[in-house]
């Protein structure tokens, strides 16, 4: 059976078989459709200057060409490339309500770099993806300035990215972020949890807040759905609720790499969505379990507020939030205090929060 010939409506040309396209004397432009190429070019120029402040040895070509080029560091015997990708999630909703976007970029880098360093890899370079509805309604330069700061903290180069203006897909003022991180490690020095043994201890590195997970539940529990609520000062937090919720995610890269030089680290985990149960298990081999002490775990004021005001059970808190521990390291018991001292010198508070035992692979808690 043959298709009918294209229809014509009011003498207008058609697209496909049924959608009329009105004739116009004035040609359509990309700008009239909502995409401002000139504004994007100006932003790229400003981004290039920010990226230059993060440039480290080995970058051959960064922002400008169609692809970045980074040389593998010299002197490595069996280099392994490691990669990670992540976003910021609904923490962006808090930033939008407060119209504050200077630290979101740090969160983006942290979520990627902290994942990557769990393998023992050193981050090399970072790329970002920024999608907006209308470019002029979002402070892209401030967002990227935060990304550059995160890259400096993680000791890697911002070598490129993409800014996509998508009118009609994102609303005015809306944006989303994604990041991509690549690092390198000697194969013989990779951390893959195979050497974790019963008797090792779990060292918990303090978080700086919620980091970038659990915000959908946190905002509902705290009623943080308006600018007025977010600007209220909360005595038990010592700051406004919005400031507490926007505290940047800690970047553990430099402290962790320093510890790896002196300590026999056998497993590491970045505590993100899924909490300690969902992430610590990923650094345990079969036949072992981590037994965590409730008494040793911190409960920051913000976490307590969420739990109490939202009437959230302990198990739900455990699997949604980092509960005060943003990163874990599994080390031999006799090296735990030395590792904690090394971290303290780099402004990271760490304490033993549990022990590894033989048993079914998983994470359990004791009250002691």
Q: For the chain, what are the domain ranges?
A: 37-189, 201-366
d(CA 180, CA 165): 19
Q: Which CATH number is correct for 37-189, 3.40.50.300, 3.30.390.30, 3.30.1330.10, 3.10.105.10? A: 3.30.1330.10
- Which residues face 311 on adjacent strands? none
> What is the DSSP secondary structure assignment for residue 9, as one 8-state letter?
B
d(CA 194, CA 266): 8
Give pLDDT, residue 229. 95
Longest pairwise C-alpha distance within the chain: 85
d(CA 191, CA 289): 18
CB atoms within 10 A of CB 335: 19
Give per-residue burial for 104-118: e unless 16+ CB within 10 Å, then b. bbbbbbbbbbbbbbb
Enumerate residues 6+ apart whose C-beta is below 8 A from 315.
none
Sheet-wide strand order for 175-186? 79-87, 175-186, 122-132, 157-165
- Which residues face 295 on adjacent strands? none
Contact (CB, 8 A) for 152 and 33: no
Q: Which CATH number is correct for 201-366, 2.40.50.140, 1.20.1270.10, 3.60.9.10, 3.90.650.10? A: 3.90.650.10
Contact (CB, 8 A) for 306 and 221: yes
> What averages of pLDDT result for each successive group of 10 residues across the chain (368 residues)?
45 45 56 59 66 70 69 89 95 95 96 97 94 84 92 92 86 92 95 94 98 96 94 95 97 98 97 96 96 95 96 96 97 97 97 97 92
* Strand positions, DSSP E, the chain: 14-15, 19-20, 59-61, 69-70, 79-87, 122-132, 157-165, 175-186, 201-206, 233-234, 239-240, 267-270, 288-293, 325-331, 350-358, 362-366
d(CA 112, CA 155): 13
Contact (CB, 8 A) for 120 and 189: yes
Give pLDDT, residue 1. 43
Give pLDDT, residue 168. 85
How many H helices and E strands in the chain? 12, 16
Q: What phi and psi, each to the nearest 5 degrees, are found at residue 356?
A: -95, 130
* Strand positions, DSSP E, 192-321: 201-206, 233-234, 239-240, 267-270, 288-293
């Amino acid at each position: 059976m043959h298709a009918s010939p294209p229809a014509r409506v009011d003498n207008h040309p058609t697209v496909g078989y049924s959608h009329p396209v009105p004739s116009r004397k004035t040609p359509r432009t990309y700008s009239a459709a909502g995409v401002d190429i000139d504004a994007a070019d100006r932003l790229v120029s400003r981004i290039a200057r920010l990226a230059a402040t993060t440039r480290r040895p080995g970058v051959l070509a960064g922002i400008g060409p169609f692809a970045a080029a980074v040389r593998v560091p010299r002197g490595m015997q069996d280099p392994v490339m490691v990669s990670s990708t992540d976003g910021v999630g609904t923490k962006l909703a808090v930033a939008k309500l407060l119209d504050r976007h200077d630290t979101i970029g740090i969160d983006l880098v942290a979520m990627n770099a902290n994942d990557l360093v769990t393998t023992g890899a050193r981050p090399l370079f970072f790329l970002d993806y920024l999608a907006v509805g209308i470019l002029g309604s979002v402070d892209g330069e401030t967002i990227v300035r935060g990304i550059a700061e995160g890259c400096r903290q993680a000791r890697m180069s911002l070598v490129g990215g993409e800014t996509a203006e998508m009118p009609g897909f994102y609303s005015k003022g809306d944006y989303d972020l994604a990041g991509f991180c690549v690092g390198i490690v000697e194969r013989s020095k990779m951390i893959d949890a195979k050497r974790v043994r019963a008797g090792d201890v779990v060292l918990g590195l303090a978080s700086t807040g919620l980091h970038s997970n659990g915000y959908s539940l946190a905002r509902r529990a705290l009623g943080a759905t308006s600018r007025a609520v977010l600007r209220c000062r909360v005595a038990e937090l010592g700051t406004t609720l919005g400031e507490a919720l926007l505290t940047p995610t800690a970047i553990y890269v430099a402290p962790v790499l320093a510890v790896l030089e002196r300590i026999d680290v056998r497993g590491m985990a970045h505590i993100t969505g899924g909490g300690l149960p969902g992430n610590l298990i990923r650094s345990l081999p079969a036949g072992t379990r981590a037994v965590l002490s409730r008494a040793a775990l911190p409960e920051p004021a913000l976490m307590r507020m969420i739990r109490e005001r939202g009437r959230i059970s302990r198990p739900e808190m455990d699997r949604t939030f980092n509960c005060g521990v943003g990163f874990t390291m599994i080390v031999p018991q006799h090296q735990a205090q030395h590792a904690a001292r090394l971290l303290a010198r780099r402004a990271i508070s760490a304490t033993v929060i549990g022990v590894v035992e033989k048993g079914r692979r998983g994470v359990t808690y004791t009250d002691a």
